[in-house]
Amino acid sequence: MRITFKLIISLIVVVVFVAVVSAWLNVRHEKVKLYEEVLSRSALLAESFKESVRNNLAAKNYASVQRLADKFQSQKQLEGVAVYDSGGTRIVSSSALTPVLAVHKEAIDALLKEGRDNPVTYAMAEKKMFLYPLFVALDGGDTARIIIFTNVSYIDYNLYKIWKRTLIRLLVQMVLISLVTLLTIRWNLVDPVIQMAEWMKNLRMGNAHGHVPPIKGDIFAPIAREATTLATNLQAARRAAQNEARLRQEGESLWTPERLKELIKMKMDGRPLFVVSNREPYMNIKEGKDIKTIIPAGGLVTALDPILKAAGGTWVAHGSGEADFEVTDDNNRIKVPPEEPAYTLRRVPLSKEEEDGYYYGFSNEGIWPLCHIAHIRPIFRKEDWKYYYEVNKKFAKTVLEEIADVKEPCVLIQDYHFTLLPGMIKAVRPDARVAVFWHIPWPNPETFGICPWQRELVMGLLGADLIGFQTQFYCNNFLDTVDRTLESRIDWEHFSVQKEGHTTIIKPFPISVDFQRPDRDAKALGEKPELKTVLKEMGLKAEFLGVGVDRIDYTKGMLERVKAVDRFLEKYPEYVKRFTFVQLGAPSRTHIPQYHRFLAELHAEVDRVNWKFKAKDWKAIAFLEKHYDHKEITKFYKIADVCMVTSLHDGMNLVAKEFVAASDDHRGVLILSRFAGASRELKDALIVNPYDIEQMADAIYYSLTMPKAEVEERMTRMRQDLHENNIYKWAANLTEELMKLRMDDFKLTSV
């Protein structure tokens, strides 16, 4: 505003100056002109009067001079004329003038005395009088003086009128100039600047639309050009910063194979990673004369293979495939995966007796039902225990061979098949960092206490530096078990156990999947699978599809699931001939009688339900009993409306997580048992009690009638969680925890 005021004042000063100067010049010119007029008129009058004065004065004819003088007084501003003798005595004067002259006698006398012959102005009778004198030479050498009196007050009045006009004009001009300046500045400067400031503020706050500022006109063209460039750069910089922040955040929270590889390289100082499990990640079987590679079913392989692919290293496992040792080298090693070798698989051969006793017997008839509260009685045989111990020793020997040349190696042991292995390795290689990850549940101490070798199992496990469980609940159960079983020091605050100078940390590490893998599988499938086509290949027709994917195991709640489908069709008959449930079942542990019985019962139950709802071209349940690879499973995940994971008890259950990872179109509902570890994380699944058939039937109905938006919301939230908590994060957490343990202290305390 101050600038507007200054501008107005400057303009006014200039205008006033110009106006005053021009008015002054004008006035001066006018004044000169008017006085010249008066002068010439007076001179003319005086000259014309002069002759008659001379003649009449010589003839002493004063009356004639008087008449003449009176004649002069009625003309325009002419006030009159007076004639004085050489002594300054008035001889004659116009009658109207005579009294005025009497009043101003002294002034006139002084004027005459000075003998001036040039005109003067003099104030007389409130009038400004122009006195024009003229000498008249009389006969006889005498002189007389004629003075013409003209009232020139009108000149001042005229000049005053000029000044007045000028001032009024000036006033109007000032008002107009102020108004025009104000409006011009407002429209052409203030408003655009305000708009520009608003635009810049929005730009700063990231709300500006477009890059072009809202100002036009020549004055602003250079600013507009610069502002456009500035906006473009700012928006690009902001986008880059946002991108960088997102990437940084993703980079911080998102674990990828590359990031895991870097972490392992950095934390393990270039040393290789050693993984031990019973189940191998790649199995070679015979198909006619050919040898085929298959990937065994089960969460452990699903989870750990991507880690080894990313980080490299050696995986020691039971070579259980019939053609396994036909493809290994002399040291029973083979590079896997066959299509793109990334790590070494060291296969451990087991005799039939060893496999029977250690794997089928102690591990899967003893510990498995012991840890899964699935109401199957565990069987503990002395013979099995002996083989279990021997096979653990055999694996220890193999692992010690593999780590022989590696200083402070890092060994990750998997699952319940190897409870004795950590102690056996540490006894020989105390410098090794040993972790055990327990994939299945750990029961309460009362349940675990029925195992005749509970003390040996717990002691063996406590040989490890770190024991990981799927949930905090299982960690608590484990510490309770240690408390009841052994003399040891338990630190409940830090969740650790000290036994014979060695410390073991106990922590939960919920295992996960490679979130991107189903995506890659889907791409490898080519075109997006369609429900109609897939069912047609099976000779079926349906509008809705439910899917279950399991290793055929009594802990998975498959019988309960079949019963739930039966009840659902009974309760909601409108879905008969419209809903089909496909159960993919991978045969597992087939030499265990309990599994035979379970499989037979499952077949019978499926038959019963299918017979009950028998219809042309449709089946309530399609039980596909065979080994399916990931790509085939992904196909079913992608077309399913609902996936059922109804374990009676499960450490985690990675089928639930794989289904979520595969649902990239955010459709599909997950029904998940509350007894699966995954239910602690996937809270947007429909959580069910698998023993409650009615509830499961309703859950199927609800999943098929759920509003699309809710389906998407639930799936989106689960996917976000899984995207971050993927298998690479699990491996990174486990590795970091293991590598940060202070091994030196342990050695010192064990001395």
Instruction: Show which residues are catalytic.
Output: 439, 650
- Smallest distance from the beta carbon of 561 to ligand F6P, in angstroms? 19
What residue is closest to ligand F6P based on CB?
A: 298
- Smallest distance from the beta carbon of 705 to ligand F6P, in angstroms? 34
Among 145, 309, 347, 589, binds ligand F6P (CB under 6 A): 589
State yes or no: residue 649 binds ligand F6P (CB under 6 A).
Answer: no
- Smallest distance from the beta carbon of 252 to ligand F6P, in angstroms? 30
Between vectors from CA 355 to CA 353 and to CA 356, what angle results, nearest 5°?
65
- Smallest distance from the beta carbon of 588 to ligand F6P, in angstroms? 5
Among 305, 354, 402, 415, binds ligand F6P (CB under 6 A): 415
Nearer to ligand F6P, 151 or 302 (CB): 302
Q: Which two tokens stand for residue 245?
A: 């922040």
Binding mask 148-187 for ligand F6P (x = CB under 6 A): ----------------------------------------
Q: CA torsion angle for 352, 420, 458, 432 (degrees, to 10)?
A: -150
CA 619, CA 684: separation in Å to the nearest integer?
29
- Smallest distance from the beta carbon of 297 to ligand F6P, in angstroms? 7
**Taking the alpha carbons of 671, 703, 712, 717 in that order, is the dihedral positive or negative?**
negative
Nearer to ligand F6P, 372 or 433 (CB): 372
Q: In what order do the strands lie in the sheet with 120-124?
A: 90-93, 78-85, 143-151, 127-137, 120-124
- Smallest distance from the beta carbon of 372 to ligand F6P, in angstroms? 10
- Smallest distance from the beta carbon of 292 to ligand F6P, in angstroms? 18
- Smallest distance from the beta carbon of 550 to ligand F6P, in angstroms? 11
Binding mask 439-478 for ligand F6P (x = CB under 6 A): xx--------------------------------------
CA 415, CA 404: separation in Å to the nearest integer?
23
The DSSP output letter for 271 is P
Nearer to ligand F6P, 166 or 278 (CB): 278
Nearer to ligand F6P, 167 or 323 (CB): 323
Nearer to ligand F6P, 426 or 589 (CB): 589
How many positions of this chain bind ligand F6P (CB under 6 A)? 12
Long-range contacts of 480-484 (CB under 8 A, 24+ apart): 480/444, 480/445, 481/442, 481/444, 481/445, 481/448, 481/449, 481/454, 482/458, 483/445, 484/445, 484/449
Nearer to ligand F6P, 80 or 299 (CB): 299
Binding mask 282-321 for ligand F6P (x = CB under 6 A): ----------------xxxx--------------------
Cα separations in angstroms, 434 against 119, 228, 343, 417, 477: 133, 61, 20, 16, 21
Side chain identity at 724, as an amino acid letter? E
Under the phi-then-psi rule, with left for phi > 0, alpha for psi from -120 to 50, and beta for the rest, what region is 206? left
3-state secondary structure of 644: strand
- Smallest distance from the beta carbon of 657 to ligand F6P, in angstroms? 13
Q: Which two tokens stand for residue 172?
A: 């109007």
480: Cα within 13 Å, side-chain hemisphere:
14
Beta bridge partners of 127: 124
The DSSP output letter for 616 is T
DSSP 28-94: HHHHHHHHHHHHHHHHHHHHHHHHHHHHHHHTT-HHHHHHHHHHHTTSTTEEEEEEEETTS-EEEE-
Report 669-688 residues binding ligand F6P (CB under 6 A): none
Nearer to ligand F6P, 72 or 659 (CB): 659
Nearer to ligand F6P, 518 or 677 (CB): 677
State yes or no: residue 714 binds ligand F6P (CB under 6 A).
Answer: no
State yes or no: residue 551 binds ligand F6P (CB under 6 A).
Answer: yes
Residue 715 dihedral angles phi and psi, to the nearest 5°: -65, -40
- Smallest distance from the beta carbon of 324 to ligand F6P, in angstroms? 14
The whole-angstrom distance between residue 110's C-alpha and the CA centroid of its chain comes to 104
Nearer to ligand F6P, 497 or 682 (CB): 682
State yes or no: residue 657 binds ligand F6P (CB under 6 A).
Answer: no
Q: In what order do the strands lie in the sheet with 579-586?
A: 621-625, 579-586, 544-551, 642-645, 669-673, 686-688
Given a contact cutoff of 8 angstroms between Cβ atoms, the answer to whether 636 and 547 are in contact is: yes
Residue 491 dihedral angles phi and psi, to the nearest 5°: -100, 100
Nearer to ligand F6P, 80 or 651 (CB): 651
CA 316, CA 102: separation in Å to the nearest integer?
149
- Smallest distance from the beta carbon of 586 to ligand F6P, in angstroms? 8
Binding mask 84-123 for ligand F6P (x = CB under 6 A): ----------------------------------------
Q: Which two tokens stand for residue 714?
A: 């639930």
Q: Which single residue is written with the structure tokens 């007084």?
A: 73
Nearer to ligand F6P, 301 or 727 (CB): 301
- Smallest distance from the beta carbon of 585 to ligand F6P, in angstroms? 13
CA 50, CA 111: separation in Å to the nearest integer?
20
Nearer to ligand F6P, 260 or 317 (CB): 317
State yes or no: residue 279 binds ligand F6P (CB under 6 A).
Answer: yes
3-state secondary structure of 408: coil
DSSP 124-183: ETTEEEEEEEEEEEPGGG-EEEEEEEEE-HHHHHHHHHHHHHHHHHHHHHHHHHHHHHHH
Rule CB under 6 A: which residues touch ligand F6P? 278-279, 298-301, 415, 439-440, 551, 588-589
